[in-house]
């Protein structure tokens, strides 16, 4: 295993410390317990957004803390849920009295720990709404979930819900907006190689040089099937067809197309995937109004990508376009 680390046990702590130092104009880092909050939080009168999950998916979630997105992010150990002892202080730290929305990817540990933290926060008098993200069409259940996994759509939920909170929407409206995004986004991914969790020291699964895993999860969970390596266009078609079918995309639909890298794939290859996906959508008569390409929800150094499609309307487009200023996503601010 070759990694730029000092000690596998200190990877998350040292990474979070470095993130805080590099983005001191945007965030404040708490180290006991560990969480990252927006520098100006709590923002008076504003609904706060808190998300989190296992580390190893950077820039998710810490990279999305700031104006127009999250108020706090709670990182667990690599591929391991944060604990209620982290989530509760983060929630308390950013609540302004307007309530807090927890955005939770559908993994069993995340769901249980955020649920516990929400109950404790409500006992402290904070109003909590929880939105579960489950956009992955690859499988209904996996090693980590009951139901569909939360993957690339999480970024879109956090951006659009964050914009709704920033414009002053109330707690129920922000939660409803987040749920509406989740209901209208679908994703599917592929792995060309495995990643290595630092404390494990070996790849999380085995793939031959001429194989790819279709429908992979962001922790290396198995997908739908393993196939011989194909062209980028053929793999893109395999990912996109279930997404469009499940979402029911038809002629005239307006969409956001998001091609996400898993951490080890160059942008040049992601744009090849985007090119084919845009062609397929155009052939179906869908209108790609917005796009995002890059590494936004990763799996350490895994080679591969995911494709997400979000059905848009005027309001969701306006919220997507709204100013955002975070370490990993920024425009208009």
Q: Which residues are known catalytic residues?
A: 57, 219
Are 120 and 152 in contact by the 8 Å Cβ rule? The answer is: no
CA 274, CA 272: separation in Å to the nearest integer? 5
Q: What angle do CA 33, 28, 115 make, to 5 degrees?
A: 45
Of residues 222, 203, 205, the one with CA closest to residue 214: 222
CA 29, CA 73: separation in Å to the nearest integer? 10
**Residue 299 falls in which region: left (phi positive, over 0), alpha (psi -120 to 50) or beta:** beta
Of residues 98, 51, 89, the one with CA closest to residue 71: 51
């Amino acid at each position: 295993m070759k990694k730029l680390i000092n000690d596998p046990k200190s990877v998350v702590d040292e990474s979070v410390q470095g993130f805080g130092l590099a983005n001191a104009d945007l965030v404040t880092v708490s180290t006991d317990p560990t969480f990252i909050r927006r520098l100006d939080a709590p923002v008076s009168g504003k609904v706060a957004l808190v998300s989190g999950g296992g580390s190893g998916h950077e820039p998710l979630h810490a990279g999305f803390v700031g104006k127009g997105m999250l108020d706090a992010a709670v990182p667990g150990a690599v591929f391991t849920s944060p604990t209620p002892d982290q989530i509760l202080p983060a929630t308390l730290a950013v609540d302004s009295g307007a309530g807090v929305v927890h955005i939770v990817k559908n993994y069993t540990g995340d769901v249980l720990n955020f649920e516990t933290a929400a109950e404790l926060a409500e006992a402290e008098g904070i109003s909590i709404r929880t939105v579960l993200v489950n956009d992955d069409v690859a499988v209904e259940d996996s090693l980590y979930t009951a139901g569909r996994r939360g993957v690339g759509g999480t970024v879109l939920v956090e951006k659009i819900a964050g914009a709704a909170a920033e414009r002053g929407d109330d707690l129920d409206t922000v939660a409803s907006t987040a749920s509406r995004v989740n209901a209208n986004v679908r994703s599917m991914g592929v792995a060309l190689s495995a990643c290595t969790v630092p404390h494990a020291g070996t790849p999380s699964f085995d793939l031959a040089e001429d194989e790819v895993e279709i429908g992979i999860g962001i922790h290396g969970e198995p997908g739908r099937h393993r196939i011989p390596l194909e062209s980028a266009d053929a793999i893109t078609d395999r990912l996109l067809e279930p997404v469009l079918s499940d979402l029911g995309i038809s002629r005239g639909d307006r969409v956001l197309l998001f091609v996400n890298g898993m951490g080890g794939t160059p942008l040049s290859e992601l744009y090849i995937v985007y090119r084919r996906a845009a062609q397929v959508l155009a052939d179906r008569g869908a209108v790609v109004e917005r796009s995002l390409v890059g590494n936004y929800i990763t799996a350490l150094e895994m080679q591969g990508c995911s494709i997400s499609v979000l059905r848009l309307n005027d309001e969701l487009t306006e919220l997507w376009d709204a100013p955002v200023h975070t370490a990993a996503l920024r425009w208009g601010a």
